[in-house]
Structure 1
Amino acid sequence: MSRAPLLTVLFTLCSVQRGCGFSQAVDSDFTFTLPAGHRECFYQSTRQSGTLEIEYQVLDGTNLDIDFYLFSPNGDLVLSEQRQSDGVHTVETVDGDYQFCFDNTFSRMSEKVIFFELILDHMNDGEEQEDWKNYVIGTDLLDMKLEDIMETINSVKARLGRSLQLQTLLKAFEARDRNIQESNCERVNFWSMVNLAVMVVVSVTQVYMLKSLFEDKRKSRP
């Protein structure tokens, strides 16, 4: 079992001004190949009062199934699934590292291609919302306008993040469907060749048997 770091991408609309108070969300996705008889685990650091959403799909491999386990920072089993092709789970987070594992030990021959996506939201939201308010104390009208602007920007940011998430999921569905079609095409071609070979053998056998029926095997007398 290996410990693999996650490549995370921080989606924020205030990359230039680091002191602004937009709520942060971390969205990361990863695709990997899990060999037969192996188990792969990943770790994600979280903070108190946040949400962690995990979505996974098996894109390729026999039966398109995998075992999934999620452990809390103190080692307790939060949830488990056996022989599933996909799943979506959301948990309330605490401080620490969450561990989630994909188990393919039940398969002895088929490797699996797995896609998963993690979304962390509402991390330090309350603390960062107070930063910009320090500059507008005593101005109620400006405070109200900034509140409206912040609400609008956060709404746009959330919708953009959701759009990106849906596009990523659609790509994963497309990849899985393509793998299924290619596998079915190979299977159809294989059995077509087998049927063709059987038909040729049967045809040759029938011709030989019919020919043998008309052969005169009697010995000529002198």
Structure 2
Amino acid sequence: MLGALLVLVAVLAQCALAHTVDLHPNSEHCFFEDMHSGDEMTLTYQVSGGGHLDIDTWIKNPDGQTLFEQIRKDTGSYEFIADKDGRYTYCFSNEFSHVTDKTLSFNVHGVLYLTEDEGLIPAERELRDLANNIQMFKDEQQYLVMRERIHRNTAESTNSRVKWWSIMQTMLIVATCGFQIYFVKR
């Protein structure tokens, strides 16, 4: 029983993977997960930079049928339970953009399915729920960090533009005053 508990904790600790990918214009990145019937998988993603912060996303089962698809969205989440054994594919596409690179962060996490017959005791169930809640908290934290980064970049860009506009206005006022003084003295 203790061995099963340690295996469950080790599996849950390794189920969470965070990735950051740069999607170039007219490009697509696909990833694969080999799953067994009954395994759970959750995919969450967030575009944190580039253009209108939008990409295309889809997930396909081993037969090539589309399980999930979002077109030109900046964030998304999809959770599913595998209905058959095989390789599940999830792709991110920036093919509709011809100019702008996009920065994408995504998380893939899952839970191996254990039935009551396989010895899932209440403590293991509580551990699984706790691990899922921790992962949701981690995903939310990562989302907030990315949003803060986007807003900070926007604020710094606006600050730079205001600074240069103010310098340009000051130079224009000094030049106008100099011209007026020259014109009046003449």
TM-score class, shorter-chain normalisation, is 0.7 to 0.9
- Structure 1 pair 129–42 and aligned structure 2 pair: CA distance change class (3 A): same
User: Aligned partners of 1:29, 1:13: CA distance in 2, in Å?
Assistant: 25
Percent identity (aligned): 17
- Tell me how far apart the structure 1 counterparts of residues 110 and 132 of structure 2 sit (CA, whole Å): 12
User: Against the structure 1 CA distance between its residues 64 and 159, is the aligned structure 2 distance closer, same or farther, given a 3 Å change threshold?
Assistant: same
Partner residue in 1 for 2:86: 96
Distance 2:88 2:75 in 1: 19
CA distance in 2, matches of 1:157, 1:169: 18
1:86 corresponds to which residue?
75
Name 2:16's counterpart in structure 1. 27
Q: CA distance change for structure 1 residues 179 and 13 in 2, over 3 Å: closer, same or farther? A: farther
1:56 shift after superposition: 0.8
More RCO (CA 8 Å, sep 6+): 2
Which residue in the other structure is 2:53 paired with?
64
Equivalent in 32, 36, 44 of residue 55 of structure 1? 44
Asked if the contact 1:60–1:180 (Cα under 8 Å) also holds between the matched residues in 2, the reply is no
RMSD after superposition: 2.8
Q: Quick one: structure 1 residues 207 and 87, their matched pair in 2 at CA, closer, same or farther if it must change by over 3 Å?
A: same
Indicate which of 62, 87, 95 corresponds to 1:105: 95
TM-superposition CA deviations, 1:79-119 (whole Å, max 9, x none): 22122111111223121111111112233333222111122
Any residues of structure 2 matched to 1:128-147 within 5 Å, and which? 129=118
Matched residue pairs, number? 179
Q: Which amino acid aligns with 2:95?
A: T
Query: 1:109 corresponds to which letter in structure 2?
Result: V
Instruction: Give the Cα separation in 1 of the matches to 2:5 and 2:179.
Output: 80
Moved over 3 A (4+): none
Say whether the 8 Å CA contact 2:16–2:135 is kept in structure 1. Answer: no
CA apart distance, 1:55: 0.9
Instruction: Name the aligned partner's letter for residue 22 of structure 2.
Output: T
Question: 2:40, 2:131 → 1: CA distance?
Answer: 18
Q: Normalising by the residue count of structure 1, what TM-score does the alignment of the two structures yield?
A: 0.68
**Which amino acid in 2 is paired with 1:14?**
L
Higher CA-based Rg: 1
C-alpha displacement at 1:126, in angstroms?
A: 3.5
Paired residue secondary structure (2:128): helix
1:118 to 105, 108, 121: 108
Corresponding residue SS for 2:21: strand
The 1-side partners of 2:160 and 2:86 are apart by 51
Quick one: which amino acid aligns to residue 113 of structure 1?
T
Q: Determine the C-alpha separation between the residues in 2 that align with 1:90 and 1:186.
A: 37
**What is the alpha-carbon distance in structure 2 between the residues aligned to residue 54 and residue 167 of structure 1?**
13
Structure-2 change in CA distance of 1:117 and 1:128 (3 Å): farther
**What TM-score, normalized by structure 2, do the two folds share?**
0.79
Deviation of 1:41 (Å): 0.9
Q: Residues 139-178 of structure 1 correspond to what in structure 2 (within 5 A)? A: 150-178=121-149
Instruction: Give secondary structure in 1 for the equivalent of 2:16.
Output: strand
In structure 1, list runs of 5 or more residues that go unmatched.
1-11, 16-20, 131-146, 216-222
Q: Please say if residues 19 and 107 of structure 2, whose CA atoms lie closer than 8 Å, have aligned partners that are also in contact.
A: yes
Q: Identify, as 1 or 2, the structure richer in helix.
A: 2
Gaps of 5+ in 2: none
Partner SS, residue 162 of structure 1: helix
